[in-house]
Structure formats: C-alpha cells, structure tokens
Amino acid sequence: MQKILLVEDEKDIGEMVGFALEKAGFSFRLVADAEQALLEIAADLPDLVLLDWMLPGMSGIDLARRLRKEELTSALPIILLTARGEENDRVRGLESGADDYVTKPFSPRELIARIQAVLRRSTAQGGEDALEFDGLSLDPVSHRVSMSGEPVDLAPTEFRLLYFFMSHPERVYSREQLLDHVWGRGVFVEERTVDVHIRRLRKALGKQDYDRYIQTVRSAGYRFSARH
C-alpha cells in the first residue's frame, strides 16, 4: 500500500483528502505543520507528500526546498496544494522542487488522478543501460547521474527529462511532445511547466557546463546535443 503524507493545517481539507485517499487504497497520514512533517518523514518515509503552501511556521515551499536538499528525500515526490492560482505562484511552486501543483478548491477525484500520475512517473522504468555523453552519465537502474564522476542530485522530473533527452539525442522536441513523453499523455500540465523544469535541469548541469547540452531551438522546442 502506498503511503501518502498530507501536510495541511486546515482540518476540513485534511479530512476530505484523507477520506478520498483511503477510499482509493492509499495509506494516509496527516500532520499540521512542517516541523511535524519532518519528524514523520524521518520516522517512516512516505511514497509521496502532499504539501499545503500556506502553513503556520515554515511554509510548504520552504519545506519542499529543504526536502529536495536532503539525500533521503531528494527524490521524494511532492505535490503542492495551494489556494494561490497565479501563474507566478505556479512557477515558484515548481521551482521549489515540487513535482506538481494543485490549486484549491480541487475535487478528490482530480487530486487522486494527479497523485497517481506523479507516482507512475516516479516509478516508471525504461531501458536498463546507462547512458553516457562526454562524461555526463545517467544510470536508469540506480537513478544516478554524474558529471565527470561527480554525482548530481536531480529531482524526479528533472531526472526523467534528462533521461528522455539522453535517450533521444540530436532531435528537437516541442514542449507538447516533451509533456507527452516525460509527463505522460493526458496529464493536465501547462506547457510553461516544461520551461521551469528545463531551467532547473540546466541549473543542476551548469555546475560543470553540461547545461549547454540542453539547447533551446527557437520557436521549435528543445534538443539534447553534445555538439554546439
């Protein structure tokens, strides 16, 4: 049974989500703030965290950032829940390291669909062979990425994006195609989300100048290429 941890200080939402998740066959735990969330996660690592943005004390965004930085939780799938629906908020939310973003009010059905999509993506497996380009290597089995032997920590979406690029080099993909291949068909995500994750991926690869492999092709999309 997959374990979902909800971090939410609003009781009504906590109850509604808990009921829906248990009905959908998940095990469910609820905590009301970031400090309790950290204790829960340390005691028993969940399969996915639903994280309310507006929490008393440390915000959901800050907690997401912190989880991404720690080795144990760097690949833990995170969905942000928020009443804030502005495009800028969405981008900020995803930049914090969250894998998806759900705006309140949401229906239990929508939330479950998003949870299932994120879980599917985080456990999806493709070919087994490690890929390597000029010292940039990715092992799909161990989920390890390294640059000239130095390990790189990537969040799950960036990992899948890089994996897709490295398995399809020298081809241009539109944002829509990347969404289909990396996020999955039928998942409701805006195309701008792709840019956010590309930016995060470039930032991680930029530590050793590998960001130049992720090339923007004007009015077409993105391409992975070891050539200039």
- Residue 1, classified by CB atoms within 10 Å of its CB into exposed (0-12), middle (13-18) or buried (19+), is exposed
139 binds Ca ion (CB under 5 A): no
Which positions from 14 to 53 touch Ca ion by CB under 5 A, shown as an x/- string?
--------------------------------------x-
Nearer to Ca ion, 54 or 131 (CB): 54
100 binds Ca ion (CB under 5 A): no
Nearer to Ca ion, 36 or 177 (CB): 36
9 binds Ca ion (CB under 5 A): yes
130 binds Ca ion (CB under 5 A): no
54 binds Ca ion (CB under 5 A): yes
From residue 177, how far is each of 106, 164, 182, 185, 207 by CA, in Å? Answer: 27, 11, 8, 9, 27
Query: How near is the Cβ of 153 to Ca ion at its closest, in Å?
Result: 28
Question: What pairs with residue 88 in β-bridges?
Answer: none
62 binds Ca ion (CB under 5 A): no
Query: How near is the Cβ of 65 to Ca ion at its closest, in Å?
Result: 18
Query: How near is the Cβ of 174 to Ca ion at its closest, in Å?
Result: 37
Nearer to Ca ion, 17 or 178 (CB): 17
Q: Which stretch binds Ca ion (CB under 5 A): 2-10, 115-123, 154-162, 200-208?
A: 2-10
Nearer to Ca ion, 101 or 159 (CB): 101
Looking up tokens 């989500």, which residue turns up? 17
Residues 221 and 178: beta-carbon distance below 8 Å: yes
Residues 214 and 224: beta-carbon distance below 8 Å: yes
- Residue 37, classified by CB atoms within 10 Å of its CB into exposed (0-12), middle (13-18) or buried (19+), is buried
Task: Please tell me the distance from the alpha carbon of residue 185 to that of residue 210, in angstroms, as a whole number.
Answer: 29
- Residue 168, classified by CB atoms within 10 Å of its CB into exposed (0-12), middle (13-18) or buried (19+), is middle
Residues that bind Ca ion (CB under 5 A): 9, 52, 54
